[in-house]
Structure 1
Amino acid sequence: MVKSQTILHSPVASSPPIPVAEPEDVGLRRDALDQVDLIIQKQYPKMRSFLLLHAGKLIYERYYGGHGISSLNDLRSATKSFTSALCGIALSRGELPDLKASVTDIFQRYVPQQAHPLLRSVSFHHLLTMTSGFAWQTGKKLGEPLIHRFHRNRKWTSFALSLPVIEQEMGRFQYRSTDSHLLSVAISEATGMDAYAYARKYLFEPLGIRHAAWSPSPEGHSMGHIGLYLTSRDMAKFGQCCLDGGLWQGKPVIPETWLKQALTPQAKGYPAFGDYGFQWWTGIQNGSVYALAHGHGGQQIYLFPQLDAVVVFTADSKVSRWKNPRVLLERHILDTLKSAAASAE
């Protein structure tokens, strides 16, 4: 049960800095990164920030469109990857049940009286991997026609659990934001804290994240699928922590065993986006393995373990059409990182 409503805005405070280095210090060409900056200015008018971390240090940082270091970004669906991390923390603390636990046990007080007969077969693991089988519609670009009906409803949890379960779809990936929101509700049910309060205590405080916001659902739960607002640097901190096996400044924050599962393909996804882990996209880009927290409009946290790099993009989230920086990443940023790696051998 939620004991307190989500606080939308936390006090504005300067976060502890990320370790910083010059591109030349880690073997990267500054002129190549300046070229990326120039391309963004000319071809990506909705871009708001570009950050590159390499070898655990912030190497390059640029802001656009009036945004700066203290600006909060609407992460949209990149929120899902943070919800995943909170699930991993709660599981390691013994607050959440086994991944095989049924949603009917986790959400006992929300289960409809006339529940679908297959609802008991839907597990926590199904929610994490978006393989629940709940009847849903998903467009080619991850559009969700039913999401507006979900958002208009005052009882989000009951709405999600009342969706029919299609037996032949269980275990098969379908992008479904209601699955992600149920993960946030699960955190509330297990801990007595909404996801934002839980994040502030067990994720944001250890990472030194002090300026954030997370919107609540009509029921008072933090939105599990969208609604998180962070600065670009704090997005980068989270990415670096995940890249380093859950460590931040040498101290464990997110369980490494959880991240190994979360960042590993658990279900076959969509060719244009990759396969799916625990609320993370995964795949191979330009020959490099990646994990991606992805949100509408261009809110992206890329992890490249083979290149020891984190790339953060943020952009205007209030757009219907937007330009994905994936090509920019493949043709310029990854090539620069690979050239540095080759020179170091």
Structure 2
Amino acid sequence: MSYKNRLVQSLIALCLALPLAWLSAETYASDFPESARQQALNMAAEFPRLHSIMAAHDGDVIIAEAFRGPGLDTPANIKSLSKTVLSAVVGGAVDRGEVRLDQAITDLMPNRIPDNATPGIERITLANLVSMQAGLERTSGRNYGRWVVSNDWVAYALSRPFVDEPGGRMLYSTGSTHLASVALTETTGRSTLALAREYLGEPLGIRIDPWLRDPQGAYFGGNDMVMSPRDLLTFGEMYRQGGRHNGVQVLSERWVNTSWQPNDRSPWTDDAYGYGWFITELAGERVYYGRGFGGQVLYVVPSVELTVVITSDPNPPSPGGRYLRELHQIVAQVLIPAAHHL
């Protein structure tokens, strides 16, 4: 083969390889300080269970790193961060007039109320479910295992005794958010998966795969959804921009603001809780975040135009609250101060 032919073949091979290299590289069209970006990555790399971190400032991706695990574009189990996504699905139904927050669950799903339901459940509203204020004994924590092995998750949750009044204390309970999922399905006649794809997946251009369903076929409300870090970042950015994405109003600004209004406080972290979002303060800024078991976290900090996604190994043993506090420090010590000075 002549030198000329070898040169031509080499150039062709290079041209074919360039698009692949371009697609695999992250570009950062932002004035976010490189020193802060590197510091955040160094802190993240210290956690052996941390899978990935992504962040955007003023709409520009400033961090996109997968240390291990499925990667940035592969759906992974986001555990109870699903509650934040489910809240958005509820918001989509509220925006369209398909449900109201003040509707009683007995009106939303009359065919699913068991004969042994606890007296007084007609006082529980859809709002009470998404704010974790149903008043019923929790089905999370030490009660979770008995609940998920029952043959009817709805009947089990609705037969729990009242330990507070509806609208009273925040009682973190996945049974409450699952009841919200079932209520949506029963009222609209469409699965929670179909609603999530219609209200969020299509307008945001994100992938929402099927996830776990209960014994009666309803999609699990508040746990085990699978989403990629990149799609979670898009979802969080939509909230940061008042429900808008690429000029399209995906959720109403009213719903976003309502979701971020405190209803009560978590007894474990003392952070306030709205509709699917925890509310706290980091580095002097108001921060809204959703979280899932083992270190799946989505942060939105509108005051400094910042959105952050962190995914982690969800398998036990989980370091619990300590690990969450350590993840908070990446946002509080590095990302917020850097964004604040731009």
Give the TM-score of the pair, scaled to structure 1: 0.85
Aligned-pair RMSD on alpha carbons?
2.1
208-217 vs 236-245, which moves further: 208-217
Cα shift at 1:113: 2.3
Residue 41 of structure 2 aligns with an amino acid whose one-letter code is D
C-alpha separation in 1, matches of 2:223 and 2:268: 23
Shift in alpha-carbon separation, 1:38–1:155, aligned structure 2, 3 A:
same
Q: How far, CA to CA, are the matches of 1:185 and 1:118 in structure 2?
A: 19
Shift of 1:91: 1.3
Deviation at 1:159, TM superposition (A): 1.2
Deviation at 1:72, TM superposition (A): 1.8
Say whether 1:292 aligns with 2:289: yes
1:226 to 215, 223, 227: 223
Which residue in 2 is equivalent to 1:94?
Answer: 97
SS at match of 1:282: strand
User: SS at 1:294's partner residue?
Assistant: strand
Shift of 1:255: 1.7
Q: Which has the higher contact order (CA 8 A, sep 6+)?
A: 1
Measured in 1, the distance between the counterparts of 2:250 and 2:159 equals 35
Q: Deviations over 1:221-240 (max 9, x none)?
A: 11101021011000100000
- Aligned partner of 2:147 among 147, 150, 156: 150
User: In the alignment, what sits opposite 1:54?
Assistant: 57
Name the aligned partner's letter for residue 94 of structure 1.
Answer: G
Match of 2:36 in 1: 32
Supply the distance in 2 between the matched residues of 1:64 and 1:227 (Cα, whole angstroms). Answer: 22
Question: Retained in 2: the 8 A contact 1:29–1:336?
Answer: no
Number of aligned residue pairs: 316
How far apart in 2 are the matches of 1:255 and 1:125? 17
How far the C-alpha of 1:53 sits from its partner, in A, is 0.7
Are positions 1:73 and 2:76 aligned together? Answer: yes
Counting only pairs closer than 5 Å after superposition, residues 45-194 of structure 1 correspond to structure 2 as 45-96=48-99, 98-136=100-138, 144-168=141-165, 170-194=167-191
Distance 1:66 1:296, change over 3 A: closer
For residue 22 of structure 1, what is the aligned residue in structure 2?
28
Query: What's the CA shift for 1:332?
Result: 6.1
Whether the aligned pair in 2 keeps the contact of 1:53 and 1:309 (CA below 8 Å) is yes
Kept in 2, the 8 Å contact 1:78–1:226? The answer is yes
Structure ranking higher in helix proportion: 2
Cα deviation code 1:140-185 (max 9, x no counterpart): xxx6111111110121111111112234575111111100101110
Counterparts of 1:107 and 1:203 in 2: how far apart (Å)?
A: 23
SS in structure 2 opposite 1:338? helix
Gapped runs of 5+ residues in structure 2?
1-22
Whether the 8 Å contact between 2:279 and 2:288 is mirrored in structure 1 is yes
Which one has a bigger Cα radius of gyration?
2
Of the candidates 302, 313, 334, which is equivalent to residue 299 of structure 2? 302
